[in-house]
Amino acid sequence: MIMLISFCALVIFGLACIIMIIASIVSKKTIIDREKSSPFECGFDPNGSARLPFSLRFFLIAVIFLIFDVEITLLLPLVTVVELSNIFHYSITGISFLVILLFGLYFEWKSGALEWSS
């Protein structure tokens, strides 16, 4: 049984490697053209920078939101597990997870990462 699982894993790994190699070979651009790599503005050269500046503050707040959102989804199954587990282990797990979450929020708040305008 272990030999069958390891053989299947080896075949899947080999197929994944072959597909990645073929995809990287096929996706290579061989001709670099100035017109194709420049931004399009009705056939004229761009007046200024075509790339808009990216707000690093917005990106940081989006990443913080994503982290806390995922942690909340990890907290939701604790409600359904309360009947299946020991109440002591349940409360220790839930409280420690909430303390870590609140400590992270406090750290982000004190470091000024949650302030939109500075």
Which two structure tokens, joined as six digits, stand for 115?
A: 């302030």
| pLDDT one-digit tens code per residue, 21-53 | 999 888 876 667 766 666 665 666 666 665 667
> What is the distance between the alpha carbons of residues 45 and 22, in angstroms, rounded to a whole number?
36
Instruction: Provide the whole-model pTM.
Output: 0.47
Mean pLDDT of the residues in the chain: 81
pLDDT at 59: 82
> What is the distance between the alpha carbons of residues 38 and 45, in angstroms, rounded to a whole number?
8
Tally of structural domains, the chain: 1
Over residues 47-72, the mean pLDDT reads 77
Percent of the chain at pLDDT exceeding 90: 16
Domain that holds residue 74: 56-111
CA distances, 24 to each of 8, 28, 54, 68 (Å): 24, 6, 29, 35
Position 34 in a domain:
no
> What is the distance between the alpha carbons of residues 91 and 46, in angstroms, rounded to a whole number?
61
Position 94 in a domain:
yes
